[in-house]
């Protein structure tokens, strides 16, 4: 599967997926960014190797609102959203083996455990 261009207009549809259980890798990038251009072929290869996952790209110049919503300060930044929960976000171009390891770890997450932890953190934040 090729990567999807993610915009504020198609964000909810792509991230939620057809069954509400979306699993999306998002590459925040810009055309002028050298490390972004170096990471692009690694990301595309991973997309081809994992057709069951959604690989999306956000052009931070064209989609400034989306980049701001994710508090992107450095590019490239890779984010992973699974079942509507942001489970990973980190700046920097990843080498292929590190990206593959990250994909494996994201697949292995126990999302019930993740949701419980998020709920606990939100409850603690409220006091």
Q: What is the pLDDT of residues 4-53, one digit of tens each?
A: 999 999 998 988 877 767 899 999 999 999 999 999 999 999 999 999 99
Catalytic position from the list 36, 53, 79, 93: 36
Catalytic site includes residue 18:
no
From 24, 33, 53, 72, the catalytic residue: 33
| SS3 call for 90 | strand
Task: Parse the chain into domains and list their residue ranges.
Answer: 4-126
CA atoms within a 13 Å half-sphere pointing along the CA-CB vector of 102: 20
Task: Considering only residues 117 and 58, tell me which one the structure prediction assigns the higher pLDDT.
Answer: 58
Whole-structure pTM value: 0.91
* 16 included as an active-site residue: no
- Which sign does the torsion angle of CA 107, 111, 115, 118 carry? negative
pLDDT surpassing 70 at residue 54:
yes
d(CA 106, CA 109): 5
DSSP 127: -
* CATH homologous superfamily, domain 4-126: Glutaredoxin (3.40.30.10)
pLDDT at residue number 1: 54
The more confident residue out of 41 and 1 is 41
Helices 34-49 & 96-108 angle (0-180, nearest 10) = 50
pLDDT digits (tens, 9 = 90+) for 108-118: 999 899 889 88
């Amino acid at each position: 599967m090729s990567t999807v261009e993610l915009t504020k207009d198609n964000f909810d549809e792509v991230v939620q997926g057809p069954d509400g259980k979306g699993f999306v890798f998002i590459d925040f990038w810009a055309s002028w960014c050298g490390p972004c251009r170096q990471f692009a072929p690694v990301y595309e290869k991973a997309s081809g190797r994992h057709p069951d996952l959604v690989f999306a790209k956000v052009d931070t110049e064209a989609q400034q609102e989306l980049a701001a919503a994710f508090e992107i300060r450095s590019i490239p930044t890779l984010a992973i959203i699974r079942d509507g929960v942001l489970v990973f976000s980190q700046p920097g171009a990843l080498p292929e083996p590190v990206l593959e390891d990250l994909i494996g770890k994201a697949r292995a997450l126990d999302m019930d455990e993740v949701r419980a932890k998020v709920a606990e953190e939100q409850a603690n934040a409220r006091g």
